[in-house]
Amino acid sequence: MDARTYDQWYETSRGKWIGQCEATLVRKCLQPRTGETLLDVGCGTGFFTRTLASAFDGKVTGADINYDWVEFAHSRDQRASYVVADARGLPYADSAFDLVMSITALCFIKNEITAIHEILRVTRRRFAIGFLNRHSLLYIQKGRHGGQGGYVGANWHTVKESIKLFRCLPVQNLQAYTVIQIPSGNRFSRLFEHGWLSLLPFGAFILVVGDMATASP
């Protein structure tokens, strides 16, 4: 799928709702402070990068391994900067960014543990990493038997598995939330998507958030 076709999905009624639900959760969990920098690892076409950039007053950067998608992201957004980079070997110094996020990008790469280590290495204060939930309606619809559409080849996790990925790593205050309980995007699913449901382990989108163990208060 080309970048333009992929990004246009976020302009559909269902895609816009799902994207905004996820972006709202990420922003709420990152708890940005004035002037903080943000890195989006595996930014793809830049939807979440530019969406979050509108809520930040610090420098925002998107990084992705796909040159064409990075070029597309840059063409859609003059607020953030974009670079070509592999999540498993980020070209930044330790603690280079106050905040780092990655929205389901790790579900499509090998050696996700290496990518998690890299994300934490360049994070100074707080991180948010999104995964696809195997205990969700979306998995039943799109994830089984190798996946369908944009989910072909994706690696799906449970909430418990996602949290275990951070075992013995230098993090603290680790928490997990889920959104998109019913992925149809119709009126009922939108009414059903209340804030307290993010504490349940069945939403299609898992977000694991935490602070670096060495982060200043």
Q: Is the pLDDT of residue 164 over 90?
A: yes
Instruction: Look at residue 62 and tell me if it is in a domain.
Output: yes
Instruction: Look at residue 15 and tell me if it is in a domain.
Output: yes
Instruction: Look at residue 121 and tell me if it is in a domain.
Output: yes
Is there a contact between 190 and 149 (Cβ–Cβ < 8 Å)? Answer: no
> Rounded to an integer, what distance in angstroms lies between the CA atom of residue 101 and that of residue 210?
11
Instruction: Look at residue 202 and tell me if it is in a domain.
Output: no
pLDDT value of residue 100: 98
**What number of other Cβ atoms are within 10 A of residue 167's Cβ?**
8
pLDDT above 90 covers what percent of the chain?
Answer: 88
Give the dihedral sign, CA 179/66/164/138: positive
Residue range 116-142, pLDDT digits in tens: 999 999 999 999 999 999 999 999 999
For the chain, how many structural domains are there in total?
Answer: 1
**What number of other Cβ atoms are within 10 A of residue 172's Cβ?**
10
Q: Is the pLDDT of residue 213 over 70?
A: yes
Instruction: Look at residue 210 and tell me if it is in a domain.
Output: no
The closest alpha carbon to 109, from 87, 76, 141, 131, belongs to: 87
pLDDT value of residue 168: 95
Instruction: Look at residue 211 and tell me if it is in a domain.
Output: no
**What number of other Cβ atoms are within 10 A of residue 4's Cβ?**
13
> Rounded to an integer, what distance in angstroms lies between the CA atom of residue 153 and that of residue 147?
6
For residues 53-79, average pLDDT: 94
Instruction: Look at residue 46 and tell me if it is in a domain.
Output: yes
Q: Is the pLDDT of residue 217 over 60?
A: no
pLDDT confidence of 215, banded at 50, 70, 90? low
Q: Is the pLDDT of residue 145 over 60?
A: yes
Q: Is the pLDDT of residue 173 over 60?
A: yes
pLDDT value of residue 216: 58
pLDDT value of residue 138: 97
Residue range 198-207, pLDDT digits in tens: 788 999 999 9
The closest alpha carbon to 212, from 168, 174, 172, belongs to: 172
> Rounded to an integer, what distance in angstroms lies between the CA atom of residue 61 and that of residue 84?
11
> Rounded to an integer, what distance in angstroms lies between the CA atom of residue 200 and that of residue 176?
9
For residues 76-85, average pLDDT: 95
pLDDT value of residue 88: 97
Residue-wise burial string across 27-49, b where 16 or more C-beta atoms lie within 10 A, e elsewhere? bebbebeeebbbbbbbbbbbbbb
CATH number at residue 100: 3.40.50.150
Element (DSSP H or E) covering residue 64: strand 60-64
Instruction: Look at residue 41 and tell me if it is in a domain.
Output: yes
Element (DSSP H or E) covering residue 190: helix 187-192
pLDDT above 70 covers what percent of the chain?
Answer: 98
| Host domain of residue 30 | 3-132+149-174
